[in-house]
Amino acid sequence: MLNLKIRSLASALAIAGSSAAMAVEWQALPGKAPEPADNPTTVAKAELGKMLYHDPRLSSTGTVSCASCHNVMSGGDDSRGGSVGVKGQVGGRSAPTVWNSAFNSVQFWDGRAPSLEAQAKGPVTNPGEMGMKSWDDVVVRLKAIPGYRQAFAAAFGGEDAINVDNAAKAIAAYERTLITPNSPYDKYVSGDKGALNEQQVRGMNTFAEVGCVSCHSGPAFNGPTLPEGTGFFMKFPTYENGALEAQYDFKKDVGRFEVTKQEADKDMYKVPTLRNIALTAPYFHNGKVMALNDAVMIMAKTQLNKDLTSQQTDDIVAFLNALTGEFPKQEMPRLPAYPNNTFAYE
C-alpha cells in the first residue's frame, strides 16, 4: 500500500511540473552512508566484503565477480547495454552503478531487493550472472580457503562464521563505503558559490523549472529519503512516443511487473541516482542511449512531455556533470589463496 501511495505521489509531482519543482530543497550528499542496526560497518567487515566483491571464485566458472559488472575503478557499472555473465551470457538490463547505492531504498531496476544485503545474494545464484547452483556451494568453497576462514572470524567472530548471511553482510558493508561526496554541486549548495560555473547554475535552475526534480530529488537525486525496502518508482515511459519507442525499444521490458505481476507495476522502475551520471553511459534500463545529451532530451519528452531547446539540454548536461563527486581511493585486495588446489569450475 505504501508503494502505491508513493507511486501516486510521484505521478502527482510529475503532473504538477515546474510548480512542484520550485519547492525543491537542494541537499548535499552525506559524508557517511546509512547502515542497518544489524550490520554496522567495520573495517574488518568492509575489507572482507571487498575481497568477496572482487573474487571470481564466487561464480560457477571462476570468471565473474561482482566487480565484473560494477567496476569501482570507473563509474561503478560496466559501460554495457547488457552485462556479461558466466559463459558469455548477456543480460537484458544495464548494470546500475554501485557508487552511492547505499542511498537507494531498494536495489535493482525493479526494486526486487529491499536492501544491499539482499541484493548481494541475488547475482551469485542467478544462472545468467554468476551461475552458482546454490549459496551452500559458495559456502563450501569459502570454507576451503584458509584466508577466508580467518577473515570471516575477524569480521564476525567465532570459528564457524562463514555463511550466506555473513557473506552478504560483508559485501554490503563494503558497498556502503562506496560514496562520492564533495562534488562541485555539493560544494555549491554548502556555500561555495564559485564551485559551479555560470552554465551549471543555469542548468541547475532549468533542471528544477522543467520538472526534473519531480522524480530526481533528494541528496542522491533518486527521490525522497525513504525507509529501506520502501522504494520510489516511476513509470517509464510516462508519455507514449512512437518514434522514440521504435528507436530504443523501451517497453520491451515491463519493469517491476516481472517481480510483482501486478498490472499497476507495468513499466515501473526504481528512480535511479543521477550522481556521477556523466560517467555511467549507456543510459536507461536497457542501455540503449549512448549519450547524456540524448538521455536528457528523451527524459524530458517521455516523462514531462516537453521539448527542450538545445540550450536547455546543454545547460542541464553541464549541471549533471557537476554531480560527479570525489571517489575514495580503491586499492585492490589480495584474494586469499587456495594452496595446492583449485575448484572444479564449469
Residues involved in catalysis: 129
Q: Which triple of cell numbers denotes residue 105?
A: 531504498
Picking from 52, 59, 61, the residue whose alpha carbon sits closest to that of residue 333 is: 52
Q: Are 319 and 278 in contact (CB under 8 A)?
A: no
8 grid coordinates: 501516486
Nearest Cα neighbor of 10 from 207, 201, 178, 234 is 234
Q: 3-state DSSP call for residue 107? A: strand
| Complete DSSP assignment for 248-292 | H-GGGS-BTHHHH--GGGTTEEEPPP-TTGGGS-SBTTTT-B--H
Q: All 3 cell numbers of residue 298?
A: 528523451
Q: 526486487: which residue's cell?
A: 112
Bond before 333 cis per omega within 30 degrees: no
Place of cell 562464521: 161
